[in-house]
Amino acid sequence: MKRMFRITVEILPHGDETRARKIARMDLGQVSDRAAALDYEISASSEADQRSGQPAFEASGMVVSHRRQDSIWALVAKSAGWVADCAGK
């Protein structure tokens, strides 16, 4: 996958950026080149969370036919929704 976008989630304890800690990451790579819509491969992971009991998570998948005229935030929302569905299973 050619990496095009990376979304990183960090915790800032009490808003302190000097103590920032990455807890999750999602990479999106374009895998098609059609005029009206693009397909993206997703690679997502998160660390285990001892407080909530959530295990570490890793998955790969696809967003198919994302319309070029839609915003990057629409792509992030579609991708995050897919990851959330996978992580909840």
Which of 22-26, 43-47, 49-53, 73-77 shows the lowest per-residue confidence on average (mean pLDDT)? 49-53
Q: What number of CA atoms fall less than 13 Å from residue 10's CA on the CB side? A: 13
Q: What number of CA atoms fall less than 13 Å from residue 78's CA on the CB side? A: 19
- The DSSP element (H or E) to which 5 belongs, if any, is strand 5-11
Distance from C-alpha of 46 to C-alpha of 58, rounded to nearest angstrom: 7
Residue closest to 41 by CA, chosen among 9, 6, 69: 6
Distance from C-alpha of 83 to C-alpha of 89, rounded to nearest angstrom: 10
Give the SS3 label for residue 12: coil
Q: What residue spans define the domains of the chain?
A: 5-87
Regarding pTM above 0.85, the answer is no
Q: Would you state the pLDDT for residue 89?
A: 65
